[in-house]
Amino acid sequence: MKAAIYHALDDIRLEKRPIPQIGPDEILLKTLACGLCGGETMAWYKKNDPKVLGHEPIGEVVGVGKDVSEYRIGDRLFVNHHVGRIDSHLSRRGHFTRDPYYSQMKLDPGGVCEFYRVTAQHLRMDAHKLPASISTDAAVTIEPWSCALSGLKVCQIQPGDTVAVVGAGFMGQGFIHMAPLFGAGTVIALDFSDWRLDRAREFGATHTINPKNQDAQSAVRAANNDRLADTVIVIAPSPAAWDLALSLVEVGGTLHLGAPLPPETEWVRDGNRAYFDQITITSRYSSDHTDTYSYIRLLEAGRIDAERAISHRFDISEAAKAFELLVTAEKSLKIIVYPNGLPEGAEHA
């Protein structure tokens, strides 16, 4: 089968790989579409070994092990690339994604390839038949925006709160779009790109701020009755962005770290202010089975306008071009690659 293989940020190759063989309690999916994730551009986050690109696939069942009874040929599925387990200390305390088992479980061999294998544990923990009302393109957002939903769950948003989001790329747009579902009233988007800020308005931002030409703190106060934000979510992975985000949090509010800094990167706070400001700092790595279940229900109910987030579509033969766009483009949100060809009527990039 054809597979897009990551060798380096500037070295994505289309190669042949064997179609995975399934066991009696596993299934084989034909990849209908797979999203590209900004995390795949973080060189420090990836191992040096070549690997199949992509972890946001949607597939159609084309092979079923003899012991599998819940799934049939032709079913369209979302299966989370990582899945947890129930019986561990971290899992029992609700931290499924921080249990080392979670990151060890993966789809075989990845998402940007023609077929992938789903293990029995994946089927037990986080596999979902998709209703006809959810398009394949919309379904591609399930994995990434479930991560945003997971973060919103720990942001302590109260009804009517003001929420600011620093960084309005695809993930930031997810936080902006879903924050009102958690009770947010005023939603403020901050980004250096006016194009992204315009998109943020489409996703529900009530105010937008470009820190390149506006004083962010003054602008937040102007939009919020001279108060700072109750919750600030920072997606941009830099100490400067984290400093900016912290400066926008009202006393007693929450700062949510929505993306990690590179390893060994220090971020220093004023200890006196850390005590007296009573700001809670939260983070949430990835999404677990409860998050994807919640997101799919919201998507099916029409509460999430997922297809609006799809900005570019590529055939697998153009995977290198798609990845280059992911790395360099300012004017893009969710990029989809179709390993088995663009669907009929789909608009090319």
Per-residue pLDDT tens over the stretch 247-297 = 999 999 999 999 999 999 999 999 999 999 999 999 999 999 999 999 999
Distance (Å, whole) CA 99 – CA 105: 11
Q: What is the DSSP letter of 81?
A: S
Instruction: Give per-10-residue mean pLDDT for the chain (349 aa).
Output: 94 97 98 93 73 96 98 98 97 97 97 98 98 98 98 98 98 98 98 98 98 98 98 97 98 97 95 97 98 98 97 97 91 97 74
Distance of CA 235 to the CA centre of its chain: 11
Phi, psi of 95 (to 5 degrees): -100, 60
CB 128 within 8 A of CB 255: no
* Residue 234 one-letter amino acid: V
What SS3 string covers 287-335? CCHHHHHHHHHHHHCCCCCHHHHEEEEEEHHHHHHHHHHHHHCCCCCEE
Model pLDDT for residues 126-156, shown as the tens digit of each residue: 999 999 999 999 999 999 999 999 999 999 9
Q: Report the distance separating Cα 149 and Cα 295, nearest Å.
A: 7
- Cα separation of 139 and 65, whole Å? 25
Cα 260-195-43 angle, rounded to 5 deg:
30
User: Environment class of residue 267 by beta-carbon count within 10 Å: exposed (0-12), middle (13-18) or buried (19+)?
Assistant: exposed
User: Which two three-digit tokens encode residue 285?
Assistant: 């790595």
pTM: 0.97
Domains and CATH numbers, the chain: 2-143+287-338 (3.90.180.10), 155-283 (3.40.50.720)
Q: What is the pLDDT of residue 144?
A: 98
For residue 282, with 0-12 CB atoms within 10 Å meaning exposed, 13-18 middle and 19 or more buried, which class applies? middle
Quote the CA–CA distance of 217 and 342 in Å, as a whole number. Answer: 45
In this structure, what token pair is assigned to residue 174?
């997810």
Tokens of 133: 């009302």
**Residue 204 in contact with residue 180, Cβ under 8 Å?**
yes
Helix/strand/coil percent split, the chain, to 5: 35, 25, 40
Predicted local confidence at residue 329, as pLDDT:
77
User: CA 344 to CA 21: how far, in whole Å?
Assistant: 29
Q: pLDDT tens, 41-59?
A: 777 666 667 999 999 999 9
